[in-house]
Structure 1
């Protein structure tokens, strides 16, 4: 049985072409990507040890080995953070992950006060499952008419994979779907993540399941939206991790002057309510 760490290392190795690392092409191969032999040599470990890591038979590689693998694979900062996280939860047969407390739905009063200070800006508090736990009036204005906030417990992941309106709202739907699937795989509670995954898999099918098995860290670039009013928006995202709560505060900022003017016009329209 594999581990999240082993699956990620193997997936990254399979995605790397030897020539991109200055290695010679060694003819036809049975599998794509970098050979175990080459990766082990670059990381300074034995092929047998690398095999044990990839197959989940070694669950406790040292910090030095994890760092050497990150260097050998040429990981970017986000991928390095993800590799360290996987090494942490893989140790001890992933007990740190599976025994985690259920995802919190309440938001600390100090975080709610922070949201109020951000008005009339666009900001939201979510967890890894995609639950929208609190938002500014600016966020509600942005989402009005999209269906995202319909219902008593809106969830961004469910919206992306099950609501046809999401494909029209998100100009780069595939990239957003990658982000939500990745976050779902890192849910604060394995039990909660599996429950939501099972619920969505029936409806979303391969669109969700193939993303859950890719082990690709999303880039999270500029968010492009097609607003129901007919305006195109480009937003930058600043994400602050509320570590103790397993939640995130995401602030959206206009990426250009036209988006800033459009957001101002949207704010001048009648609003439903402020902080939720």
Structure 2
């Protein structure tokens, strides 16, 4: 990923959404482009125009916390956007990552996921599915093989599925909202992992093959979507409104456990019960899961 270009694009996108009157400035003259000018933002942030220009052009990678905090305040960044700004402004501080190799969910994590009676899955930092239980599989990808997370060559990726899989597109009645949420999470992750080649390849693949992804990516949305509510229109049980939570798993390099639940007594809870009754037995994938990760567990 071209970090200097990403930083400049991000700062320009955030300048463009603020007008002088939004921040207490008087607007003079006709503006060729919307938003704050560089000199106006520099004034608000308390830095020189020349310094801010170098930063926006990716020519200064040693900005202090104080300067970045001032720019974040001037741009009225959210906490997630502020974090993203720091990641882009100081990419040298990102940890160098070893050569990529297939990831696996820990045995204990897989056992936990299998034991849960709500839809659950394990994602790596690139949004690859490393494991799911039978309800997670039935909810999100019943059209895929239950053991696909345990075969790296066929491993599902939730971003790829959302933008390129027609079955997944039909699963979300508000597909556009789900797509915005997904790109916001992917943007934040890309800023955290600027040297992740596989993540960059995923972004390139989606840009080339999805007409909707490119324009969304260009807007630089940034938001950590670790909890909330998702709506589904499931082909077997119909409408579902499910709350979700994502929890980072310690010492895994960014893996997360994602779980869905329905409000007690709601129609969605009844629909989940119907889905559980129709889901494939857990044993359909457990044998492959044990075989596919046995060598990994020995190390």
Name the TM-score, length of structure 1 as normaliser.
0.83
CA distance in 2, matches of 1:193, 1:136: 25
Q: Which blocks of at least 5 consecutive residues in structure 2 are unaligned?
A: 149-153, 290-299
Aligned: 1:135 with 2:108: no
Q: What value does the CA root-mean-square deviation take over the aligned residues? A: 2.9
* Alpha-carbon spacing, 1:132–1:269, altered in 2? closer, same or farther (3 Å): same
Q: Offset at 1:51? A: 0.7
SS of the equivalent of 1:268 reads helix
* Alpha-carbon spacing, 1:84–1:249, altered in 2? closer, same or farther (3 Å): farther
2:28 corresponds to which of 22, 26, 29: 26
Task: Name the counterpart of 2:294.
Answer: none
Task: Name the counterpart of 1:203.
Answer: 209
1:269 corresponds to which of 278, 283, 287: 278
Task: Name the counterpart of 1:122.
Answer: 119
SS of the equivalent of 2:247 reads strand
CA distance in 1, matches of 2:87, 2:261: 28
Task: Name the counterpart of 1:254.
Answer: 262
Task: Name the counterpart of 1:83.
Answer: 85
Alpha carbons 1:100, 1:190 under 8 Å: kept: no
* Alpha-carbon spacing, 1:101–1:114, altered in 2? closer, same or farther (3 Å): farther
CA distance in 2, matches of 1:18, 1:253: 44
- Give deviations 1:183-232, integer Å, cap 9, x for gaps: 4453555311233333343322x322223332111474521111112521
Alpha carbons 1:129, 1:183 under 8 Å: kept: no
Greater displacement, 143-152 / 256-265: 143-152
SS of the equivalent of 2:278 reads coil
1:60 corresponds to which of 62, 73, 80: 62
CA distance in 2, matches of 1:144, 1:181: 20
Q: Offset at 1:101? A: 4.5
* Alpha-carbon spacing, 1:250–1:8, altered in 2? closer, same or farther (3 Å): same
Task: Name the counterpart of 1:217.
Answer: 222
CA distance in 2, matches of 1:171, 1:21: 37
Aligned: 1:234 with 2:236: no
Q: Which blocks of at least 5 consecutive residues in structure 1 are unaligned?
A: none
- Give deviations 1:73-120, integer Å, cap 9, x for gaps: 11122222222332342x37xxx4775542652112332243245x11
Q: Offset at 1:139? A: 0.6
- Give deviations 1:142-187, integer Å, cap 9, x for gaps: 1254559695311212211212222211122223323434444535
Give runs of ≥4 in structure 1 deviating > 6 Å: none
Task: Name the counterpart of 1:9.
Answer: 11
* Alpha-carbon spacing, 1:199–1:27, altered in 2? closer, same or farther (3 Å): same
Name the TM-score, length of structure 2 as normaliser.
0.78
